[in-house]
């Protein structure tokens, strides 16, 4: 019983604090990208290996920088074909940075160093 309790306790320690808000329509996305602060939008698919790898970094960055300075949003391209088409997310993972509704930066592929650098810069830290 003690082993089970320890196993459960250790599992809770590794839980993610934040999980990016999932959107699937332009109206939902607009409610975040037009807020006047930087919004980071990750386009991904559950079947995409590089997307799964990038997710760990994305969650770490969200835990560190998410909140008042930066929004973190996720778009599953399999559930949001109109967004996939509009933003050209045919190659994933794709991360777009928005400010005042405009794309200010684009990162294609699994590039944790680039994401970290950009998010640090845009957060003002």
Indicate which residues carry an active-site annotation: 48, 51
CA 97 to chain centroid: 10
Closest CA to 104 of 40, 61, 44: 40
CA-nearest of 83, 86, 84 to 25 is 83
Quote the tokens at residue 3: 């082993």
Under a CB-based contact definition with an 8 Å cutoff, are residues 119 and 40 in contact? yes
Beta strands at 38-44 and 94-99: parallel, antiparallel or unpaired: antiparallel
Question: Residue 62: enclosing H or E segment and its boundaries?
Answer: helix 49-65
């Amino acid at each position: 019983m003690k082993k089970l309790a320890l196993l459960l306790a250790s599992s809770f320690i590794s839980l993610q604090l934040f999980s990016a808000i999932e959107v699937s329509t332009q109206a939902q996305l607009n409610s975040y990208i037009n807020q006047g602060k930087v919004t980071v939008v990750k386009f991904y698919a559950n079947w995409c290996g590089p997307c799964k790898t990038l997710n760990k970094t994305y969650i770490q960055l969200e835990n560190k920088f998410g909140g008042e300075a930066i929004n973190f949003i996720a778009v599953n391209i399999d559930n949001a074909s109109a967004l996939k088409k509009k933003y050209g997310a045919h190659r994933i993972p794709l991360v777009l940075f928005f400010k005042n509704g405009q794309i200010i930066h684009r990162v294609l592929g699994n590039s944790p160093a680039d994401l970290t650098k950009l998010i640090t810069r845009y957060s003002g830290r």
